[in-house]
Amino acid sequence: QVQLVESGGGSAQAGGSLRLSCVASGFTEKHYVMGWFRQSPGKEREGVAAVDSDGSTYYRDSVKGRFTVSRDSAKNTLDLFMDNLKPEDSAMYYCGADEVYGAWYVVRVVPPDFHYWGQGTQVTVSS
């Protein structure tokens, strides 16, 4: 059974930094995308950053230059380092994984059948 467990998040001032971590377990397939997604109240879930199993990495435009995602395939972990945070970054952040879709696609479109999700961790940025 696949599980994604997130940690980190919390509150920060605008311009501050936070780190999110995700540990995946139960995968039998070696090739799967892992990514961070976020959702604010009343909005659709959106891709933030994602990494393919070959290391190809993609970010949504609004976080480029501020967020860094790092995947350790040996440890099945995915970290998101968020710097220069803005109030509009406030959201519930989810770690996600899927065996079918690729990172380039999921940072642009979150498929309705995206397979695996963590429980989410809240990020709140105050101005």
| pLDDT mean over 66-82 | 96
* CA gap 84, 118 in Å, rounded: 25
pLDDT at residue 60 tops 90:
yes
| pLDDT mean over 94-114 | 97
Percentage of the residues of the chain whose pLDDT score is greater than 70: 100
Q: Which pLDDT value is given to residue 28?
A: 81
Quick check: helix, strand or coil at residue 83?
A: coil
pLDDT at residue 29 tops 90:
no
